[in-house]
Amino acid sequence: MTNVPQQALFGSYLLALLLLPLAYSCESTRPKAEVMEDYKCVIHPLLQSIENNITLLGGQECGEMKQKHLCEEDNERGSIHKMVCSIPFKNPKKTMSKIKCDLRNLTVNIKDSLNCSCPRNEDDNPSKFNCKQPHHRNLRKERLCNLLSIIKAISSCYKKLTNKNS
């Protein structure tokens, strides 16, 4: 008798795993030239700034990171979208750290550029977050390394997209 609830739970779990990739899918309709212009003028400088800030806060100690975030061949924009949606924004305080403010700015710009949204991280209500005077909070090394891994993977994917269009 105890197998029936477990089977229902297992079936729900499998259904969720099958639908998860659809939640992150993004068929960007913006022309590649416009996406690349956004990258050159706005996104690339933001990526560099965030990478530098993470490195200054201790990200240089990350060493060789395991590649969790991959840029799929012939699906660079979809890969970038998945990576952007994977940036964690947990329990935002009234005042956010400098890195979180920069990451929020980056995610908003990339989502606008790709004309896609994320099923999570949709707290784009600017009244909730105060980035005018961000505080400098120390983040754990593990978290810094995870963020650095995502930022480097996004940069790499944009470079592949740029080289493809050259």
Q: Which sequence spans correspond to the domains of the chain?
A: 3-165
Per-residue pLDDT at 25: 56
Per-block average pLDDT, block size 10, for the chain (166 residues)? 51 42 59 91 95 81 74 90 84 64 90 85 52 63 86 94 79
Say which residues have a Cβ less than 8 Å from residue 82's Cβ, sequence separation at least 6. Answer: 24, 69
pTM for the full model? Answer: 0.75
pLDDT for res 6:
52
Which pLDDT does position 39 carry in this prediction? Answer: 95
